[in-house]
Chain A
Amino acid sequence: MELTNKRQKSQYLRLITFLLFILSIVFLQTSPHVLAETPEDKGLAIAIEADKRDLGYRSLTADMLMILRNKHGQESKREMRFRSLEIMDDGDKSLIIFDSPKDVKGTAFLNYTHKVGDDDQWLYLPALKRVKRISSRNKSGSFMGSEFAYEDIAGQEIEKYTYNWLRDEECEGMDCFVMERYPVDKKNSGYSRQVVWLDRAEYRTWKVEYFDRKDAHLKTLTFSGYEKYNDRFWRAAQLDMVNHQTGKSTELQFSNYVFNVGLSDADFNKNSLKRVK
């Protein structure tokens, strides 16, 4: 009886804390992690704050260079262009257009990220002028033969994971949060969990460790060359993904970031896929 009471009490307390914490976010009066009590709440609060700091970018374009390396150091390169559109009440829309290798030039990948449920994805094949709807459940599949999976490239919506703050520690010479995140779509994700390092000052991600479904350390992603755009938005110039199980790695460079470029829904539909070059 007493036990139940205690449990009820603690649940009650947790609810109150949670409400306070939500209120604190809503009114932006305090730093969100101060009131958070449990590691789960704190982890979620960190994710929400990181996401909030990126709100309002509207649309952006960037150039991507992907360098694939096998364990012998042999390289192959892929050039792409990236376009993204912020959607207010759902996940973002993004478009990736391939420029090289030349045999895939003009191929384009369109993704509607959803906060809840499967994303919508299409692939445009320019030789046939064919737009193919593809299944977004292949999220653990390799993106263009690289060490990045589709789920690593897609929009990292808050709702795609549950969170657990682990500890604070120094990373890259800064004070950092270390938290775990668990994919909500456990069945189709290639990961059991990810460990993420973010700096406390700007909530930029510096490192992600990926653990496979058997919970073995599979990959590590590191971010470098952060720059601030439009006085607000931090973006890394380089992402390095290393696969510890195969010795292969992929370097992903971003350049020519332009924010608020005035793209609209019309630039992210099947028609626009057909006219990209």
Chain B
Amino acid sequence: MKKLLPIALLLSIFATWDLPAQAFEINGYVALEGRLFMQDSLYIGQEDNNASIAMAPEFYHESPSGSSLTFVPFYRADSADSERTHFDIRELNALLVHDTFELRLGIGKVFWGVTEFVHLIDIINQTDLVEHIDGEEKLGQPMAHLSVPADWGVLDFFVLPYFRERTFPGRDGRLRTPLAVDTDNAVYEHSSEENHVDFAFRYSQIFNFGDIGLYYFKGTSREPLLIPSVKSNGRTVLLPYYQLIDQVGMDLQLVTGNWLWKLEALYQDNDTKNYFASTGGFEYTFVGIGDTMIDLGLIAEFAYDDRDDEATTPFDEDIFGGLRLGLNDPAGSELLMGLSYDLDNKGNIFQLEASRRITDTIKIFLESWVFFNTEPGDYYLYSIRDDDFIRLQLFYYF
């Protein structure tokens, strides 16, 4: 019921908003997905393949002053994993635009970061992990977000009144740890649990030579520790444990000619183990290779986390090499390939993403992830070592 309160509040704003049919738009997509896992499953109950359908319509209304209302519900129905069948409100917010500030109230999404392979410092929104292990899919976050732009930079203030728990694959789903995560019984450090009010503050500025951002976050960690626990039915599960943290983070991107230099870093203070983590690298683009319209980008990045093996991400001391091809054809064909290499534990991930438009409204995405050279030292990567997959998606945009 508490969950529904902010939603009800927002809906009431929608209802009472002065609605002279100025600019009302409905856009969005419906996507069909098939995932094919190349090896037999490691854990009992897991399916070899799955099919699913997802949709995310966007309802948008803008007033003449530039203020707007946005509503983006999301739903996925999955054939194999009941945890992956899920509904979320990605956005339900009112944006008030004033000459000297912007205020966004409601459920929204904010992204911070510059690198391609690891999204380290991004913290406002929780990861919707059942959607994808790349960490780019996010759950809607209730927020009051005040943004004040000035000549000397932009100040962003966030009050985050409700916490979203990370999604995890269920027992039937692939790409999970040997023990499934029991998302119904999350444990919190703070007694207010998901009602703990979190805060964040960010300063960012752009320069001719690059962009910089610095932030401070105080609240519930988006990344849970996973604690083995025996349930009353005798089954052992992993319980997500959400700590309170203080975190400072920064992102920096420099532009020098065809080179883009990127750096993200954070320091986190918590009751278990304070740590430092960083990721960065470069991207270099060759434009119009061999007298064609094709652009070729080379990406090299590193990731470092001083928790080493205790890191909750698979990347503690890794390097990444990537290649991005943009065909610049009318179909907008693109290809991204990447290879990660773990310097301590070994363990490589190969990933490939390709996409192109078939018609003006239909786009096809092909993706493949392959895990190899995995060793038990990297718990997460070792857990999913037999989950190499090919994912085919067909998006219809309306």
Contacts and interface: CB of A to CB of B under 8 A. Distances in A.
Contact of B328 (A101, A103, A142, A271): A142
B361 A269 contact: no
Contacts of B206: 120, 269-270
Contacts of B363: 103
Interface in B20-57: 25, 27, 29
A145 B356 CA distance: 12
B328 A145 contact: yes
Nearest to B326: A141
Given A101-B360, A102-B360, A137 B258 contact: yes
B27 A269 contact: no
Interface stretch (B94-102, B180-188, B265-273): B94-102
Contacts of B328: 141-142, 145
Given A77-B360, A128-B136, A141-B287, A275 B68 contact: yes
A219 interface: no
Interface string A141-168: 1100100000000000000000000000
A101 B258 contact: no
A68 interface: yes
B291 to A, nearest CB: 9
Interface in B148-176: 149, 154
A122 B110 CA distance: 17
A138 B295 contact: yes
B336 interface: no
B235 to A, nearest CB: 37
Contacts of A104: 332
Contacts of B211: 133, 270
Contacts of A102: 27, 360-361, 397-398
Contacts of A68: 330
A100 interface: yes
B332 A117 contact: no
B109 interface: yes
B208 A117 contact: yes
B379 interface: no
B259 interface: yes
A192 interface: no
A130 interface: yes
B287 A270 contact: no
A266 B149 CA distance: 8
B195 to A, nearest CB: 25
A135 interface: yes
A136 B259 CA distance: 10
A142 B293 contact: yes
Contact of B332 (A141, A145, A188): A145
A260 interface: no
A277 B136 contact: no
Contact of B357 (A101, A130, A141): A101
Nearest to B97: A275
A223 to B, nearest CB: 23
Contacts of B111: 128-130
Nearest to A264: B99
Given A103-B397, A128-B111, A135 B357 contact: no
A102 B397 CA distance: 6
B60 interface: yes
Contacts of A118: 208, 255, 257
Contacts of B208: 114, 117-118, 120
Interface in B71-107: 95, 97, 99, 102
A135 B257 contact: yes
Best-buried of A102, A118, A138 by chain B (most CB within 10 Å): A102
A120 B209 CA distance: 8
B279 interface: no
A17 interface: no
Interface in A165-209: 188, 190
A133 B136 contact: no
Interface in A95-139: 100-106, 114, 117-118, 120, 128-130, 133-138
B169 to A, nearest CB: 22
Contacts of A140: 287-288
A277 B62 contact: yes
Given A76-B360, A136-B255, A137-B285, 13 more contacts: A103-B357, A103-B363, A103-B397, A120-B255, A129-B111, A130-B113, A133-B114, A138-B258, A138-B295, A270-B154, A270-B211, A271-B149, A275-B97
21 contacts: A76-B360, A101-B361, A102-B27, A104-B332, A105-B397, A117-B208, A120-B255, A129-B110, A133-B114, A133-B211, A133-B255, A135-B259, A137-B257, A138-B287, A141-B293, A145-B332, A190-B288, A270-B154, A271-B149, A275-B68, A275-B102
Interface of A: 68, 70, 76-77, 100-106, 114, 117-118, 120, 128-130, 133-138, 140-142, 145, 188, 190, 266, 269-271, 275, 277
Interface of B: 25, 27, 29, 60, 62, 66, 68, 95, 97, 99, 102, 109-111, 113-114, 136, 147, 149, 154, 204, 206, 208, 210-211, 253, 255, 257-260, 285, 287-288, 293, 295, 328-332, 357, 360-361, 363, 395, 397-398
The 5 closest A-B pairs by CB, nearest first: A102-B397, A142-B328, A76-B330, A141-B287, A129-B111
